[in-house]
Amino acid sequence: MYEGLSGQKKGILFFAAVVIVFMQGGLWSARRHSVNNFPDDSLLPVTTYLPFGKSNARPSVKEHPIPKLMADAEANYRQLLSRQSQTLEEAVREYERRYMRKPPRGFDDWWRFARNNSVVMIDEYDNIDEDLAPFWEISAEQLRWRASLAGYLPFVDVVRVKDGKAIAVNIVDGEESEAVSARAKGFLSMLANFQDRLPDLEFPINAMAEGRILVPWERRVQSNTTLQRNIDAIRDELSGNGYPDWHGEGTVWEAYRRTCEPGTAARRLFSSFRASSMNKTSQLAARSEEFVFARDTAGNYSFCTNAWAHYTQGHFFSDWRTIAAAFPMFSPAKASGYLDIRIPSHYYYAQTRRYTYGWDPVNLQLKEVDDMEKPWDEKSDKVFWRGASTGGGSSPPGFAAQYQRHRFVRLASDQSSANRTVVFADPPGSTNYIYADVPAGQLNEDMMDVAFVKVVGAENYPGGLDALVRAHRVDDGGVNLGDHWQHKYVVDLDGMGYSGRFFSFMESDSAVLKATVYREFFSDWIQPWLHFIPLSQSYSEIYNIHAFFSGATESTLRVANATALYMPADKRKTIDGDRRLRRIARAGKQWKRTIGRRVDMEAYVYRLCLEYARLWSDDRDSMSFSP
């Protein structure tokens, strides 16, 4: 076809062909983005793409990464347990090594409390040091002033310790009331066993699920005089006008991105609206994307650097205004960038029908085994999730389709013929892994049991209630907490904030798959791939997680014309995979019963109180521990 063309024309045609190829690659990439409803870059540290080769005339995977992820997780956790201090002297030395200062006064009493209650985690309290770090930079007088002022802000309660006795109050128009939030009541209960050993203190407790403290980068280096004027303005803004929410006048994202350092993507005006380039346009690499596994949950993910990803997380569209100054605000969880001080969730500490495994609401007692728990072999192999269509606020409106729960339910509700790549062992139990492109609708029918049970905020969804119901499965029959124990896989997702059901899921005999951007008090105490299975924020690997542990479904075997298709049905199940999945379920249950106990939460709070008490004192050196 090039006969008679000049060299210049040939060059032009070649350049045009290259451009067309790249355009097609970009369009193909964009189509995958629209199908997955999520940008290509993962929010989590992930395994590398594995090489795909040929085996028995079929595409095959040379090695499956999940066994190594599990082995590494177990080795890391064994090492963590083995290095915990066994004596008070060892604990003091480890404290001084980590934090370059002496422990707080009362450390010996805390040590005895921990040892008498068989607390395993003696040294792992880096979260406390991180959360309190900003308050070392201000005086005790400033800290006390900010704590007293915080109590006057909307949706903030105060837990006050005075003369060895703790109470919880809410301050409205200068008047104190005992009508406080469940979060304040929960924190008050956690203090009960050691309140008499604490000095006078005040703890502002966040009554909302969302994080509250987002301090602009510039404000962190301001003088105290300027800061005081800003705090006064914040107080007037949040309480004086009676409007604690955004009311369409701003967004959490606008507040959040000002916390980022100058020069980061989030601080540049338009970068927040542009997804990063894919740089992976071949079909082979695209197939590999669904075979990438998160190493951990996304608590340390930088939205400052990856500003585009904020569209996928509902807490950036919260209704409630954040606070732009470093108040000591005690909250049950926080995303990266927030300066809240973490405390255990009242959902974890309390014993209720909706949030506690094995709770008998009639006899008001905790049972070793939940009445609805099923034996492992009787549990369904389907991935199970039920919840309300929460996950974000409405400021600004129109972004609900991108919230984390909506994306997951939409993924699991997809009945289209769009293919997803599934990797599985063929024959079962072997290390010969092949992959097949299977219609999403068939996979969801085989693997997923996911639905909203309650539709809330439909007016914020593009197209309203009708559009939401068309795109998401809705099961309005209701569900009990115990219904989850009928399934081997239970999924834990963020809502308006952290998920309050995580500890109950962990105590069941089911394996927990968890996706979150929140960091909680126990984040240094738990090991992904040993105690639970971490999910990326795209969820796209969930089909391959299921295929590894439970084997390929019949529809997958038919598409691949796999060897296992011609085996008896009872021989197709991967025994090793099921054993590994049960191992995760059992390890999670053991973790909850040995490290996630109520007394472990008390030990965490006790130590937090000692550190906070030192910051509260005008003579901080005198509040250090001396043997």
- Please write the tens of the pLDDT for every residue from 216-229: 988 775 545 566 66
d(CA 283, CA 105): 61
Quickly count: other Cβ atoms within 10 Å of residue 601's Cβ: 22
CA 184 to chain centroid, in Å, comes to: 22
- pLDDT confidence bin for 17, thresholds 50/70/90: very low
d(CA 528, CA 46): 12
Residue-level pLDDT at 229: 64
Residues contacting residue 154 through CB under 8 Å, at least 6 positions apart: 238, 239, 244
Let me know: does 451 contact 474? Beta carbons within 8 Å. Answer: yes
Residue-level pLDDT at 36: 37
Going from N- to C-terminal start, the domains of the chain cover 1-36, 60-72+285-297+359-595, 102-278+318-341+604-623
Rg (CA), the chain: 26
Is the pLDDT reported for residue 50 higher than 60? no
- The 3-state secondary structure of 447-516 reads HEEEEEEECCCHHHCCCHHHHHHHHCCECCCCCCHHHHHHEEEEEEECCCCCCCCHHHHHHCCCEEEEEC
Angle at 247 between CA 243 and CA 251, to 5 degrees: 115
CA 75 to chain centroid, in Å, comes to: 23
pLDDT tens, position by position, 440-458: 999 999 999 999 999 998 9
pLDDT tens, position by position, 53-96: 433 334 556 789 999 999 999 999 999 999 999 999 999 999 99
Strand residues in 225-364 grouped as ranges (E): 330-331, 334-335, 341-342, 359-360
pLDDT tens, position by position, 181-213: 999 999 999 999 999 999 999 999 999 988 999
Arithmetic mean of pLDDT over the chain: 85
- The 3-state secondary structure of 147-195 reads HHHHCCCCCEEEEEEECCEEEEEEEECCEEECCCCHHHHHHHHHCCCCH
Residue-level pLDDT at 570: 77
- State which H helix or E strand residue 126 sits in: helix 126-132
Let me know: does 513 contact 542? Beta carbons within 8 Å. Answer: yes
d(CA 613, CA 624): 10
C-alpha dist (Å) from residue 28 to 238, 259, 308, 436, 475: 47, 35, 20, 19, 34
- pLDDT confidence bin for 565, thresholds 50/70/90: confident
Beta-bridged to residue 512, according to DSSP, are 490
DSSP secondary-structure letter at 276? Answer: P
DSSP secondary-structure letter at 337? Answer: T
| pLDDT, average across residues 523-530 | 96
Closest CA to 494 of 334, 260, 323, 305: 334
| pLDDT, average across residues 296-317 | 86
**Largest alpha-carbon pair distance within the chain?**
99
- State which H helix or E strand residue 433 sits in: strand 433-439
Altogether, the residues listed in the chain come to a count of 627
C-alpha dist (Å) from residue 296 to 323, 507, 511, 528, 532: 29, 20, 16, 6, 10
Q: Can you give the pTM of this predicted structure?
A: 0.87
Please count the CA atoms within 13 angstroms of the CA of 229 that sit on its side-chain side: 5
Burial of 277 (0-12, 13-18, 19+ CB in 10 A): exposed
Quickly count: other Cβ atoms within 10 Å of residue 102's Cβ: 17
- State which H helix or E strand residue 533 sits in: strand 533-534
What separation, in Å, do the N-terminal and C-terminal C-alpha atoms of the chain show? Answer: 90
